[in-house]
Amino acid sequence: MKIIKIAALLASGLSATVSFAAKDGCKTPDGKEIRGAVKMDGSSTVFPVAEAIAEEFQKVCPRVRVTVGLSGTGGGFKKFTSGEIDISNASRSIKPKEKAATEKNKIKYMKLPVAFDGISVIVSKKNTFLKEIAMEDLKRIWEPGSKIKYWNEVDPKLPKKEIKLYGPGADSGTFDFFTEEVMGVSRASRSDYVASEDDNVLVRGVKASDAALGYFGYAYYIENKSTLNSVKIKYKGKTTGPTFETIQDGSYPLARPLLVYLNVGSAKRPEVQAFVDFFLKNAGKLSKEVGYIPLPKETYEKALAEFEKTVKNMQTH
């Protein structure tokens, strides 16, 4: 029976999960099958990874219902801080205001890493003049009240073409992160650009014009590599573009970690324990599959050890 199960899992390309499945078989220590529900919600950027993990976990624990929502990082935190969900998917760290809400509602949480993403600054393949841009110029273009209208105002060597700007809307975690990193102040941005929560709208917009500039997650750039170019960023004397390696080792200045926040109170439930365990053991492989960049192996292992410690502490108390 066990052999059949292992074979089936291997066949579906899940070698990483076998040890877990064979060891626990989705049973509690006293041998009962784990049932229940795990609720996740939040960032649309983290969604593909969360979906992949939920999908694979469902094969191991068919009796546990994992659901993933798509309310955006801010919307996810709203539900998380009021205790409606177990896990919040986030493309930025929790804000002081949200932290205060967790304290008010007596929710203890734990931050767990999922994968890396690199916010890519993008031009169309048609654009022949922009290969790299200095961080300061990026700031001059995007800062609030910026009057820059033509490329030659950024650098006299560039042609006199009108810059068309595309970027995510203000509800997006990408927006929060980009403004924080480039402007130094979170949510400080000029507002006269084409904004959309749907990154595919940005992709289409930038694609069409040789003078357009946009920024969005790495996965959208990779999927549209045939029509888009990434712009290298000059920062502190180095010029780096977004690639698998530069994002993973953190040398790309706009690399950001994708996170989940776990409600520690929920971790009392065996189905949440099983899910988080599975999550941390498989996040690396599965995030790579859906176009994100996995964190170093040790990061996951460290997080798993920390999680197991937390669970143990809770059981002894």
- Site for another protein, rule CB under 8 A: 37, 39, 41, 44, 47-48, 50-52, 54-55, 58, 65-71, 79, 84, 197-200, 217, 219-220, 222-224, 286, 289-291
The answer to whether 64 and 164 are in contact (CB under 8 A) is no
Residue 141 or residue 276: which is nearer to another protein going by CB? Answer: 276
CB of 212 to another protein, least distance (A): 18
Residue type, 56: E
Closest approach, Cβ 249 to another protein, in A, equals: 23
- The first and second tokens of residue 198, run together, are 């749907």
Least distance to another protein from the beta carbon of 104, Å? 16
Nearer to another protein, 118 or 163 (CB): 118
Could you tell me the smallest distance in angstroms from the CB atom of residue 286 to another protein? 8
- Beta carbon of residue 39, minimum distance to another protein (angstroms, whole number): 8
Q: How far is the CB of 159 from another protein (least distance, A)?
A: 30
Identity of the residue, 47 or 177, whose beta carbon is nearer to another protein in the bound complex: 47
Shorter beta-carbon distance to another protein: residue 58 or 93: 58
Whole-number minimum distance, CB 70 to another protein, in Å?
4
Cα 262 to the center of its chain, rounded Å: 15
